[in-house]
A and B are shown apart, each in its own frame.
Chain A
Amino acid sequence: MKKELWKGNEAIAEAAIRAGCKAYFGYPITPQNEIPEYMSKRMPESGGVFVQAESEVAAINMLYGASAAGVRAMTSSSSPGISLKQEGISYMVGADLPGVVVNMMRGGPGLGTIQPSQSDYFQATRSPGHGDGHMIALAPASIQEAVDLMWDAFEMTDKYRTLVMILADGMIGQMMEPIVWRHEQPVPEVDKPWAADGRDGDGKTHFVTSLRLQSPANEQFNLSLEEKYEIIQRDEVRYEEKGCKDADIIICAFGTTARIVSTAIRMLKEEGINAGLFRPITVWPYPSQQLKELASQDSVKAVLTVEMNLGQMHEDVRLAVGERKPTPFYGRTGGMVPEPRHIADRVREILREVSK
């Protein structure tokens, strides 16, 4: 397979098209502008639909419509724009609609900054919109992984009729890395008998809606979501662990932060400190069971969370590890990116504290 040099945003857009995405609706916001720009040319070229919507609100509702009509479609934005999309996302959860949403996280809150951050973790994993409900959230750590995950994303979204979010950050969107195109074929199409794309032969109509005014029926629907999520939690957890076996300390990180942590781990190794990396790829469903097992090893003295926020994945780590081991935190936020040497400093500090 030939290596090609691609910019993250453009690679993600190209991957979506090759994976079978037929429509893109989006709006400019830094640091993901290259996605709508690339899509504006490449989508029509590939026979698909591109619309620059008037806002992120309009874009998510266009996605809702296309998805309701059974079309494979996506949108992208960055943190403030994802907030705007939350109503539409909740509607899609409430109507069991597939779709892919890319979030190139930037420093917040509010208008914040355009530099990378990971501070939308809660938003992505706790509740994508109002009400009970989840989306599958995938956190690539490299452009190659982001590209490969597009096939997973479109497959899972159609399989489970559940939104999939690609939770990336500005670094992934803006940097250039060599990648290979592992997939030659798009994700196979699935039958969508529920779609509002015309009556069935016997005149039966389809009504795509999230309105269930009778509370018992609405509760039933929410329970059906829960059933769906139990299957997803059972079958779709993805993670990577490196050197966690017999490690002195496990460092949990996702996305690009994991790569910075890897550098810190190499630095620590030279001093004889065995640090393992635990990297969730699905941040929802979270690989809690796997983390719990690794953290339970006798050798492990602490489980450190490193992320670009004030401590969001940290809560999932604490839930998984419980009282078994100390669960400290190190983070930078507001668009600042952690440095390997500071992570290494924090690890040394933790190991000193726990040995007291």
Chain B
Amino acid sequence: MRPEVIFNLDRCKGCGLCVSVCPKQILWLNEKVTNIKGYHPSGITDQSKCIACGNCARICPDSVITVLRHKEEE
């Protein structure tokens, strides 16, 4: 299973709720990046550790995050 987490960066308000609910603690607000609204948007540090639980997407008040699970089939 390969998770994919997609961020709609310009919709992010940098609230940090997603960071606080990630069970793998692999989300962060990148202070080196500023989006179109002037916020530091969230991003993923290590996609390989993601378990596609969807917590981040579920708590995001702005529906910034899409979480997909790709299953390779033989």
- In-complex A–B contact (CB below 8 Å): no
**Residues of chain A whose beta carbon lies under 8 Å from any beta carbon of chain B:** none
**Residues of chain B whose beta carbon lies under 8 Å from any beta carbon of chain A:** none
